[in-house]
Structure 1
Amino acid sequence: MHICFLTNEFPKEGFPHGGIGSFVKTISIALVKKGIKVSVVGINYTSENETQNIEGVEIYRLKPNKIKGISWYLNSKAIDAKLREIHKKQRIDIIESSELGLAFLSKIKAVKYIIRLHGGHHFFAESEKREINRWKGFQEKRSFKKADAFIAVSKYVKSHTEKYLSFNNKQVDYISNPIDTDFFKPLESKQEYKNRIVFAGTVCEKKGVRQLIQSFPFVKREFPDATLEIYGRDWSFPDGSSYTDMLKDKEIPQLGELAIDIHFHGLVSYHDIPKVYAEASVCVFPSHMETQGLVAPEAMAMQKVVIFTKYGPGPEAIEDYKTGLLCDPHNPEDIAEKIIWVLSNKEKALKMSFKAREFVLDKYKLENIILQNINVYRNIVFK
């Protein structure tokens, strides 16, 4: 069987990538180890065509077309041509994309097309209470019509996507994103830290970073030695200005002398993420919305107490006060209350952290998730 993933985000040293990139890398390498051929096709970060083989995964990064107004069309045509070239050399059985990815592809008859619901435009427009962008909405509907089957990464993303988009009576399966529990495993920190609060993820509004910063003064009243460590790539507003700079200009100054204990570390490489989690007293991810979220179960796999959003798929990922804590991501006082609980209840938190890893091993373990994916792929190809 030959699976081809469509994404521009497959991790590349020195360049930022999102959760989809991490997911595709993890699943691709695991599928190759099971004897399945895997290709990845996407637009490159740099102005060149590039081919790589990473642990058996063939990665094709295509030179981006930047002609204003039609770059989307030219890039789609380039991806289309590359898919046909790969298919001619070795038949592709399945092409998998996220929500918008199939919109302008011309289908190859022998190939099955899957959309994995990582959270598309309609999904996040609802969660962020904003209007549907006509162009993106059109692309997503067009893409859905071309899919032969769907995989949802959480029950929540499936139910809230189908409020706006039809699955057209096609097969829909539910498979969580996998966590590499051999990579994300309990790890002793080389440095001793006390009351260290860690956030990891894109530094943007929907990840709840602003509310986390606003919660910090409440935590400091109870734990004066607490620090807030923020790791992740910056997000830019439509005018190109930095979200991190906005926080530093508007939110941080309001904290006065407390600001000295908030540290922005910027982008961290995938290989350094376990070290970041290992140094945490508590990991806090107060996202306004997620489809599943990778950072929460990654940190849980490392036997860390995680505070996650109570909205969306949060309750699917954490059983409150048993495998972690759920917070209201819009309420800084509630976020602070949950952080203070963890820092005040060391023994209970330690027991919780053991249960957290057990839960991840049961629900998200890579080996189990890979077998689920292979079974679904075979069912789609051979039915």
Structure 2
Amino acid sequence: MHIAFLTPEYPHSKVKHSGGLGTSIKNLVVALVEKGIRVTVFIYGQPQAAVFEENGVIFHLIANKKYRFAKWFFYRKYIQNYVNSVVKKERIDIIEAPDWTGVTAFMRFDIPLIIRFHGSDTYFCHLEQRKQKFKNRLFETVAVRNAQGYIAPTKYAGEVSAQLFGLSKQQITTIHYGLDLKQFQNESPAQFEKGLLLYIGTIIRKKGVFELPAIFKKVLEQVPTAKLVLIGGDSSDIQTGSASSWELVKATFDSSVLEQVDYKGKIPYSEVQTYIKKANVCLFPTYAETLGMVTIESMAMQKPVVNSNIGWAQELMEDGKSGFLVHPSHHEEYANRIVSVLQNDGLYTQLGTSACSFVSERFDIENVVKMNIQFYESKIHL
């Protein structure tokens, strides 16, 4: 079997950008190659075209193109023709693409197309109750309805996407993102920095970062020595038009506590893991997500997590056993869950151990990759 992925991002030094979507694809790609599956990755929107092979994966960087008008159509057709030529030459059996921006709208491939619901603009606008641009909804709807199969990382994300795009729930298969657990080991979970709270993710409204100042203030009322570290790239704010969400968030912290808040910006992932190991509690008060890779990565490293309680998050842990689930707007309850861990090292250990076990049972890439292979085979042989 030969599987292809079409994506705007992938974690690689030659690729312009990558986030959670790219990480989840890479985890699967590496596991597929280890199982003897041939894999080709097409990465569009790149500054320069390139073709190379690395660690058993064939990469095609597809250069961005300029058009006088209707780039939304002509660039898609360029990608389509490029991919189809490689499909024929390399005998690729099936191709997978994300729902985001509906890149496969108006494309026709010579092999089955699978859409994975990583989180479309339609999905996020729905969760955030934000008005969506007509063209974004159109492109994503056309792309989704042209596919021959669908995968969602959580049941919740699949059911909401089915509703939004006019599919039946039965058409969507839930397959969680997978982790190579060997890369997320914490040999000394009992060693951590007392009182260190860690947020990892883009500084953006939908991730709940605007709730953190109020939550942290309530934590400090009970644990005055607590510290908050934030890691992740800054972003513009849709609601206010500000170029920096971090500057908006920073302004809402009490000036007296800013010395206990440290925004690191975007840092190499090796350093992120160091901070996870140091953390007393990891915080993810997000309003909009499909799964949240960094949440399960933190859990795999035996860290107590206080997460959002919305939809998808309820599939990532058991409330009170392998983590805590609290609505981001419930500041006092959210803070109390954090404080309960800060004041009880036994609870820290208990939650961290249970979190690691939960992830091992449900998100181990060894099991997840087998489910993906079975799904691909079922669509190839239709």
Match of 2:247 in 1: 245
Letter matched to residue 36 of structure 1: I
Counterparts in 2 of 1:70-219, with a 5 A limit?
Answer: 70-99=70-99, 100-108=102-110, 111-167=111-167, 171-188=171-188, 193-219=193-219
3-state SS in 2 of match to 1:162:
helix
Match of 1:291 in 2: 290
Letter matched to residue 57 of structure 1: V
Query: Is residue 41 of structure 2 the alignment partner of residue 40 of structure 1?
Result: yes
Q: Distance in 1 between matches of 2:55 and 2:190?
A: 29
Q: Distance in 2 between matches of 1:69 and 1:222?
A: 59
TM-score computed with the length of structure 1 as normaliser: 0.92
State the 1:347 CA deviation.
0.2
3-state SS in 1 of match to 2:26:
helix
Query: Is residue 348 of structure 2 the alignment partner of residue 346 of structure 1?
Result: no
Query: Is residue 326 of structure 2 the alignment partner of residue 327 of structure 1?
Result: yes
Cα distance change, pair 331–191 in 1 and its aligned pair in 2 (3 A): same
State the 1:66 CA deviation.
4.2
User: Do the aligned partners of 1:230 and 1:264 also contact (CA within 8 Å) in 2?
Assistant: yes
Letter matched to residue 31 of structure 1: L
Cα distance change, pair 57–77 in 1 and its aligned pair in 2 (3 A): same
3-state SS in 2 of match to 1:263:
strand
CA displacement, residues 5-30 of structure 1 (integer Å, 9 cap, x when unaligned): 11111013395422110011110111
Q: Which runs of 5+ in 1 are unaligned?
A: none
TM-score computed with the length of structure 2 as normaliser: 0.93
Q: How many residues align?
A: 377
CA displacement, residues 282-339 of structure 1 (integer Å, 9 cap, x when unaligned): 1011111211111111110011111111012111111111000011112322221111
3-state SS in 2 of match to 1:289:
coil
Cα distance change, pair 190–348 in 1 and its aligned pair in 2 (3 A): closer
User: Do the aligned partners of 1:65 and 1:74 also contact (CA within 8 Å) in 2?
Assistant: no
Larger mean Cα displacement after TM superposition, 342-351 or 170-179? 170-179
State the 1:138 CA deviation.
0.5
Q: Distance in 1 between matches of 2:69 and 2:267?
A: 33
Q: Distance in 2 between matches of 1:287 and 1:192?
A: 24
Cα distance change, pair 168–308 in 1 and its aligned pair in 2 (3 A): closer
3-state SS in 1 of match to 2:373:
helix
User: Do the aligned partners of 2:162 and 2:172 also contact (CA within 8 Å) in 1?
Assistant: no
Match of 1:301 in 2: 300
User: Do the aligned partners of 1:303 and 1:356 also contact (CA within 8 Å) in 2?
Assistant: yes
Match of 1:360 in 2: 359
Letter matched to residue 341 of structure 1: S
Identity %: 30
User: Do the aligned partners of 1:207 and 1:288 also contact (CA within 8 Å) in 2?
Assistant: yes
Match of 2:269 in 1: 270
Match of 1:59 in 2: 59
Q: Distance in 2 between matches of 1:67 and 1:235?
A: 28
3-state SS in 2 of match to 1:313:
helix
Letter matched to residue 184 of structure 2: F
Match of 2:9 in 1: 9
User: Do the aligned partners of 2:204 and 2:237 also contact (CA within 8 Å) in 1?
Assistant: no
Letter matched to residue 27 of structure 2: T
Q: Distance in 1 between matches of 2:357 and 2:189?
A: 21
Cα distance change, pair 189–344 in 1 and its aligned pair in 2 (3 A): closer
Q: Distance in 1 between matches of 2:170 and 2:90?
A: 27
3-state SS in 1 of match to 2:197:
strand
3-state SS in 2 of match to 1:265:
strand
Q: Which runs of 5+ in 2 are unaligned?
A: none
State the 1:175 CA deviation.
0.5
Q: CA RMSD in A?
A: 2.1
Match of 2:31 in 1: 30
Larger mean Cα displacement after TM superposition, 59-68 or 327-336? 59-68
State the 1:70 CA deviation.
3.2
User: Do the aligned partners of 2:159 and 2:169 also contact (CA within 8 Å) in 1?
Assistant: no
